[in-house]
Structures are given as structure tokens and as C-alpha cells.
Amino acid sequence: MVSENRPFRVIVVGGGVSGLAASHAFQKAGIHHVVLERRATVAPAEGASIAMYPHGARILHQLGCLSTIKQHSSTPDRWRARLPSGKLIANNGVFRVLEANHGSGLLLIERRQFLQDLYDTLPDKTFIKTSCIIEDIKQDEDGVEVLLSDGSIERGDLILGCDGVHSFVRRTLWEHANKTLLGSITVKEKLTIRADWKCLVVTTGPIAELGDRDLTVVHNKNYSHMYTMTPTLGYFFVFFHLDEPWTFPKRTQYTNQDTQDIADQISNHAMSETVVFGEVWKHRIRAAVVNLEEGVLNHWYHGRIVLAGDSVHKLIPGLPWQVTPNMAFGGNSGLESIVTLTNLLRQTLIDRSWARPSAKELEKVLATYQSERLDRMNDIEKFSGEITKMQAWHRPWDKLISTWLVPMLPARFFGDQLGNIIRAAPKLDFIDASDFPSGRMQWKDTDGKSKETKYSAVGLHAFLGVNQVGLLSATAAFFMVFYSLSDIVFTWAAKGLRG
């Protein structure tokens, strides 16, 4: 299929966050590649905001684009929670704890601007090709071929699918895997990525009455609001539970009329003590309704095809504080996957004096990549649905926890739990990051030991006097508290029912 004399080459499908980050990382690593983006531009006027935590910022620093991104970013001041009436019930300084723990805080930036910054800071933009529609993908023992709609063919050694939740590359991987080993990709796995919630996403200009630095959650029954204000833009998300879950191969598309109808239904809902949603709606720049898919697949590769980003670990996008739109770990997790794969590919090529690895050698690299990423992504993803349920008071005990117990907890508790996720994140292992700011909690990949945190999930259980089976995961940080407390309340309720 391909010449033995050419260098190892990766064909990246998708020019979003993960795809552009892959080009940055591969250029730093000296790995030949091409990025194929189906759109005519890498930064379309779509989406709302994206949040970068310190571990994502550390990677961006290594890639050489953090300073540019910071010019277009803002940092939130307070995390606030409100009742359906707009009454304030929590006002937390966790963002300051985040900065003290890691020397760097949370960065909020418009998604379109973030993509543009990633593109503008690329050392060599010729690796990016736009308006590339893929017709077919072929692979064999010697390489891969991607057939484009204009009749051209891209040849290489590995296909990296960064083409989102409706990934063409993922469907191709499934087809090839089941042809090679019948039943290897089951219906259960194909239905892993699903949507139980939909979201009205609105970008606005500044709204003085809502401030310009705060992140606010407004709780309600079976839906919730979340908005983040910055000096130049406002980002609003309204989450609704779907009557029926969305799963593969269905694809729901909402019209402009659907968007307007939903906005009309909630126009009189309070966003604060003085503002209702209808007033926010008048400030809109753009708005859309989208399903919020989430899930982590078990198979990240087959043969010479590998996945990264939303195509394999879809974490509901949007807000800072959960893997659902309240944590915003989706983009950060995509960066993590890219640097992990880049480290492994680069070391393999160095070990082979930059000769192309065989199919078996490449499979070992991809197996290691999947192994290193899968457990961490499963741990984080488990909290995704829990937080959306909590904010929307989806279960009987959610209202008690979110309106009574959580506001009592100190900011340091949340920040330290969140820090346990952040400090364990990977980075590029061949680029020095020692000049990136540090704080009280040291990175896990350094020799230093972090100072002992004052609060922990175990400490919380002891404080409440409950002998409860541990958390599903030691990650998910801020909203680990939510999930832990929901289990506690459920245990109390179950004991009560048993008499």
C-alpha cells in the first residue's frame, strides 16, 4: 500500500480541540502528520465556552500557545448557587483555592476563540487541511489510506480519529474490528455513549446585573441553569432531562424554532434576585439546543486506527465543575489523551531510530495508550450524570444535599479534592515544564510531595459519622462531594426503610 522508505506518518481526522492539539504535539515531537478537517474553517461560530484547568494549561504551556490563549481568557471569581426563586444559598471562593493549590487558576474562553488561538500558534500551518470530506478508510499490515471526496488519497501508518461524538473514524474502527474478530465490538459498547439530557446553550454580551466574573448554578426540579459571566461575554446553559435517552445510531438535530420554544418556556425563570431568563434571552448573540452525550468506550483502537477526544471519551461539554457542563474536563481530557499518545509514539520511534514500526509494534503502543487512559477517564466520567442529576434535583435526596449540606462545606475542601484530579494529569515527557507555575499541591509526575490536604472524602464520612462504602472514584474533585453525600443520604434512607 505504501513505500517502505517514507517516514512514519499519522493521519489526524478532525481539526477541533484534540486535532489541533495533536498537530502541536506532533510538530514538537518531530512526527510527520496531516490534519483533515471537514469544515472550511477550524474556528466556526458555534458552541459557547471552554474551560482550561491548570493541568490543561500546563500542556498548552508546553505547546507554546498558553500566553496567546490567556490574552482572550478570563478567570472566574466566585462560585454561586441559587434556588429557583433566585435566592443565593452558596457563595464559594474555590477558584482562589485552585490558584493556591496549583499556581494557576481556571481559564474561561470562548470556544471559537480557543480554536482560533490553537490554530494561530501552530509553528507550521501547512499540516492542516480544511474542507476534507472522507469517503472511505482502508488499512492493512503496511499502512492506511484515506479516500477524500475530491478523489485524492492520504497515505500513512496510523489514523487518529479526533472527529467528535458522531465519529466517522469510530464507525470505521467498529466495522474493521468486527470483520477481523466477529463480535469484538458489541451492541452494548456501541450504546455506551448516550444522552440523557439536552441543553439550551446561549452566548450573550455582558449583562451588568449578573456581574462579570462569577459562575452561578440555579437549581430546579428536573432541569437547572448554569451561567458564567466574563467582562465581554456571558455563557448560559439550561439542562433538561430527555423523555427518552439518545443512543447510537440516532442523531437528533434541533431547529431554530425548537430553540425559541424552549427559551419561551423558561422566560420567567429567575437567574438572580433581579433577572429572569427572558431578559437574558434578549442579549443573545447565538443560541442552540444540543443533546449532551457522555460515555467512555472500552475499545480505543483496532489495527492502525486509534481514537482520542470526544470520539472515544465524551464528557458533557461546557461549564466548569463537572465532567458534565459543570466540570468542563472534556477539553482538558482530550489534551491528556493527545500528550499520552504522543509520548508513546515518539519513544517508539526513537527506540527504532525513527524507522517505521511494524503493525505488531504499533499495536503494543496503542494498547499501552488505551490502558493508561481508560481507568482515569472512567473514574472522571462516573460523576458526569451524577452532577446534572444533583443540580436538577433529579432524585429525592438531591435537593437536600445541594441546598443544605454542600453550602456548609469550605472552599478548601472542594479545591483540595479537585486538586487530586489535576495533579495526576499527564504532560509531554520530552518538554520541560518546570517554569510553569506551581502551588501547594505538587504535580504527581514530579519528585516533590504535595503538602497534606486538610480535607478528604474519608474525613467527610468520619465527620458525618457514616460507615459508607467508599466513593466510586477518587477523582471528579469538586463534585466528588456531591456524589459522596448522595450515597450517604441514600444509605440513611435505606436504613430507615428497613426499620
Dihedral of CA atoms 47, 292, 65, 378 in degrees, nearest 10, equals: 180
Determine the pLDDT at residue 421. 86
468 pLDDT band (50/70/90 cuts)? Answer: very low
> Average pLDDT for residues 197-210, to the nearest whole number?
95
Contact 163, 311 (CB under 8 A): yes
Residue linked to cell 500551518: 125
Task: Using only the alpha carbons of the chain, give its radius of gyration.
Answer: 23
Cell triple for residue 401?
444535599
Please identify which residue in the block is written with the cell numbers 443573545.
284
Q: What whole-number distance in Å separates Cα of residue 296 and Cα of residue 192?
A: 7
Residue 5: band (very low, low, confident or very high) from pLDDT cuts 50, 70, 90? confident
Q: How confident is the model at residue 410, as a pLDDT?
A: 66
Backbone angles phi, psi at 44, to 5 degrees: -70, 160
- Label residues 297-313 b or e (16+ Cβ within 10 Å = b): bebbbbbbbbbbbbbbb
pLDDT value of residue 222:
72
Nine-digit cell string for 256: 431554530
- The residue with cell 518546570 is 434
pLDDT at 327: 54
Per-residue DSSP letters for 171-230?
Answer: HHHHHHHHHHSTTSS-HHHHTSSEEEEEEEEEEE---GGG-SS-EEEE--SSEEEEEEE-
Work out the number of other CB atoms within 10 angstroms of the CB of residue 112.
Answer: 20
Phi-psi region of 67 (alpha: psi -120 to 50; beta: other; left: phi over 0): alpha
CA distances from 359 to 7, 158, 171, 299 (A): 15, 10, 21, 17
Distance between CA atoms of residues 5 and 425, nearest Å: 37
494 in Cβ contact with 437 (< 8 Å): no
Arithmetic mean of pLDDT, 409-437: 86
Measured CA to CA, the distance from residue 236 to residue 281 in angstroms comes to 10
Question: What pLDDT, on a 0 to 100 scale, did the predictor assign at position 480?
Answer: 40
Rounded Cα gap, residues 91 and 406, in angstroms:
11
Average pLDDT over every residue of 33-56: 95
Best CA proximity match to 318, nearest among 410, 237, 231:
237
Name 107's bridge partners.
52
- The predicted model scores a pTM of 0.85
Cα–Cα distance between 272 and 299 in angstroms, integer?
A: 44
Domain 9-192+294-385 fold is FAD/NAD(P)-binding domain (3.50.50)
Over residues 271-326, the pLDDT tens digits come to 999 999 999 999 999 999 999 888 899 999 999 999 999 999 987 643 333 333 34
pLDDT in tens, 106-150: 999 999 999 999 999 999 999 999 999 999 999 988 999 999 999
Cα diameter, the chain: 75
Task: Please write the tens of the pLDDT for every residue from 378-389.
Answer: 877 765 445 545
- What is the domain partition of the chain in residue ranges? 9-192+294-385
CA–CA gap between residue 278 and residue 301 (Å, rounded): 46
The C-alpha atoms of residue 22 and residue 34 are separated, in whole angstroms, by: 10
Determine phi and psi for 84, rounding to 5 degrees.
-55, -25
Among left, alpha and beta (phi > 0; psi -120 to 50; other), residue 230 is beta
Q: What pLDDT does 316 receive?
A: 61
Residue 259 contacts residue 198 (beta carbons within 8 Å): no
